[in-house]
Amino acid sequence: MTDGWGYRRPDDDDWTATQQTPPAVAPPASFWWSDALNDPWRDPHSPVALVPPAERVSAPVPEPLAEPDPTRRRTLWTVAGVAVLAGVLAGVLGGAMGVRFSDDRAVAPSVLGQAAATPQRAPDSLAAVARMVLPSVVTIRVPVEGSVSLGSGFVASAEGHIITNDHVVSGGSGVASVIFDDGTSSPAKVIGADPESDVAVLQVQRKDVRPALLGDSDAVVVGDPVVAVGSPLALRGTVTAGIVSALDRPIATNTDDGGNRYYAAIQTDAAVNHGNSGGPLVDAAGQVVGINAVIKSMGGSEESAGNIGLAFAIPINHARRVADEIISDGRAHRTVIGAEVEEAFRGPAGGVRLGEVVAAGPAAEAGLRQGDVVTSFGGRPLSEPTDLIALVRKTAPGEVVQVAYKRGPTSHNASVTLVADAD
């Protein structure tokens, strides 16, 4: 057996004794499988006896877990609570700092520097002028022989009157489409036009129009800042800026019916292109001082013409007078001096030579005669026949103008009262 008492066979006489007290015998020197001579089962006559097993070395018993000290337990809970509270506070603080820093990065990235404050623009700034004028500026589309004529214009009255160029609406059927700065559109009717001054008036039937402020073109001087507004190349609401380059620049162009247009223009270097025609030229106060009408270009044809800083506008005093006559009378009245000019004359000292002088006309009443050479009109020197015609057309009927002229070698002055033509 491998457990319990060790069994040995006793002598017959000692049976009782061995039953009461087991003999103290030494354990075998070695196991039976390694010492065959001492194997009790090999020799049946060998004495055997039951002996108690050798004392075994037990494995160490672990100490029982003791209940923690109540004071220590409270200390542990206190430490744990403080740790949790500290974690919560750290999370809240970290989140707040993260939001703040993320907001700061969104407003002003530290890498690119701080964001500037919103600029406060002066009332006479270009931005303020544009904001004032744009709601009054319109784009005009006129059906013309299977195509569309495109131009600009501006609202001139609370009744919906719109001023533009005659060459924008000429060739049409008298109806047009007007597109406002907010994108809304309305049909418009052509009230009337004056081909010679290149001014036309349309009208829309709506009450929410915003008329532009009309200024005084006679108060404009060279060097004044000006802004041109319109739809060049169909780009609605385009604003360009420049200065007044010259005043009373004589302009003569051809009309569609073979006639001529004359006006003493305001010259500007503000960028003006096809589609700006009829749009306003405004001063630093946002008041209209002219109507953009003509550009000079190096292009070989009118279609290829583009801005080179030479643009011309009809003075608003001239255009307003013509528009008022169109609205009230249905037509404009030309201002005349009562004399014709010789187109071929070019004097060495300039001047415009008069041809036929109408009897009882303004020139004749002032003492001018055929052959006289007019050298200045209203203080402005003359060098071309177009100069005199344009300046006369610009002046309102009834005004008195000082004229300087030569008759042979003698110089003279005269006061001429201009009148409207009889037609």
Q: Residues 266, 359: one domain?
A: no
Burial class of residue 183 in the structure, from the number of CB atoms within 10 Å of its CB (0-12 exposed, 13-18 middle, 19+ buried): exposed
Assess whether 224 and 323 both reside in one domain. yes
Number of H helices, E strands in the chain: 7, 20
pLDDT band with cut points at 50, 70 and 90 for residue 2:
very low
| Nearest residue to 342 (alpha-carbon basis) of 306, 282, 382, 283 | 382
Same domain, 149 and 225: no
Is 277 marked active-site? yes
Pick from 2-16, 119-133, 219-233: least confident: 2-16
Q: Work out the average pLDDT over 402-421.
A: 94
Residues 383 and 308 in one domain: no
Rounded mean pLDDT, 154-158: 97
In a domain, 94, yes or no: no
Would you say residue 387 lies in a domain? yes
Catalytic, out of 161, 167, 274, 318 = 167
CATH code (residue 143): 2.40.10.10
Question: What pLDDT score does 285 carry?
Answer: 93
- Tell me if 365 is assigned to some domain: yes
Higher per-residue pLDDT: 297 or 43: 297
- Tell which of 204, 238, 257 closes a domain: 204
Is 167 an active-site residue? Answer: yes
Helix or strand holding residue 316 (H, E): helix 316-329
**What is the per-residue pLDDT across 322-356, written as a single tens digit (0 to 9) for each?**
999 999 999 999 999 999 999 888 888 889 999 99
SS3 assignment, position 311: strand
Determine the Cα–Cα distance for residues 140 and 178; give it in Å rounded to an integer.
5
Could you say which of 204, 227, 245 is where a domain stops? 204
In this model, does residue 10 exceed pLDDT 60? no
Q: Which of 136, 217, 231, 277 is catalytic?
A: 277
> Residue 211 falls within a domain, yes or no?
no
Q: Are residues 349 and 289 in the same domain?
A: no
pTM: predicted TM-score of the whole model, two decimal places: 0.72
pLDDT-derived band at 223 (thresholds 50, 70, 90) equals: very high
pLDDT higher than threshold 70 for residue 205: yes
Q: Is residue 62 part of a domain?
A: no
- Return phi, psi of residue 182, to 5°: -85, 5
Query: Is 235 in the same domain as 316?
Result: yes
Question: Is 22 among the domain residues?
Answer: yes
Q: How far apart are CA 291 and CA 315, in angstroms?
A: 7
What would the two tokens of residue 109 be?
Answer: 């990235």
Q: How many domains does the chain have?
A: 4
Confidence at residue 98, expressed as pLDDT on a 0 to 100 scale: 60
Return the number of other C-beta atoms located less than 10 Å from residue 108's C-beta. Answer: 13
Q: How many other C-beta atoms can be found within 10 angstroms of the C-beta atom of residue 44?
A: 8
* CB burial of residue 364 (10 Å; 0-12, 13-18, 19+): middle
How far apart CA 334 and CA 422 sit, in angstroms, is 9
Predicted pLDDT at 391: 95
Instruction: Name the pLDDT band for 161 (thresholds 50, 70, 90).
Output: very high
CA distance 199 to 188: 16
Instruction: Report helix, strand and coil shares of the chain as percent, to nearest 5.
Output: 25, 30, 45
CATH assignment at residue 346: 2.30.42.10
- Give the closest residue to 312 by CA, choosing from 297, 292, 298: 292
Would you say 414 and 400 are in contact if contact means Cβ atoms under 8 Å apart? Answer: no
Beta-carbon contacts of 255 under 8 Å, excluding residues fewer than 6 positions away, are 166, 167, 170, 195, 196, 261
Residues 6 or more apart in contact with residue 153 via CB below 8 angstroms: 137, 138, 139, 140, 162, 163, 164, 168, 178, 202, 278, 279
How high is the pLDDT of residue 73? 54
User: Residue 45: pLDDT band by 50, 70, 90 thresholds?
Assistant: low
Q: Please say if the pLDDT value at position 375 is more than 80.
A: yes
Range of weakest confidence among 26-30, 216-220, 259-263: 26-30
Query: In this predicted structure, what is the pLDDT of residue 306?
Result: 79
DSSP letters spanning 217-283: GGG--TT-EEEEEE-GGG-TTEEEEEEEEEEEEEEEEE-TTS-EEEEEEEEE-S---TT-TT-EEE-
pLDDT of the residue at 256: 77
The pair of structure tokens assigned to 303 is 């279609």
Structure tokens at 209: 């129009």
- Write the CB contacts of 297 (distance below 8 Å, at least 6 apart in sequence): 304, 305, 306, 307, 308, 310
State how far the Cα of 294 lies from the Cα of 281, in Å rounded to an integer: 12
Q: Which domain holds residue 176?
A: 127-204
Return the amino acid letter for 410.
T
Kindly report the number of other CB atoms within 10 A of residue 27's CB atom: 9
Examine the domain organization and report whether 306 and 398 are in the same domain.
no
Q: What is the pLDDT of residue 355?
A: 94
Position 209 in a domain: no
Looking at 166, 194, 198, 269, which residue is catalytic? 198
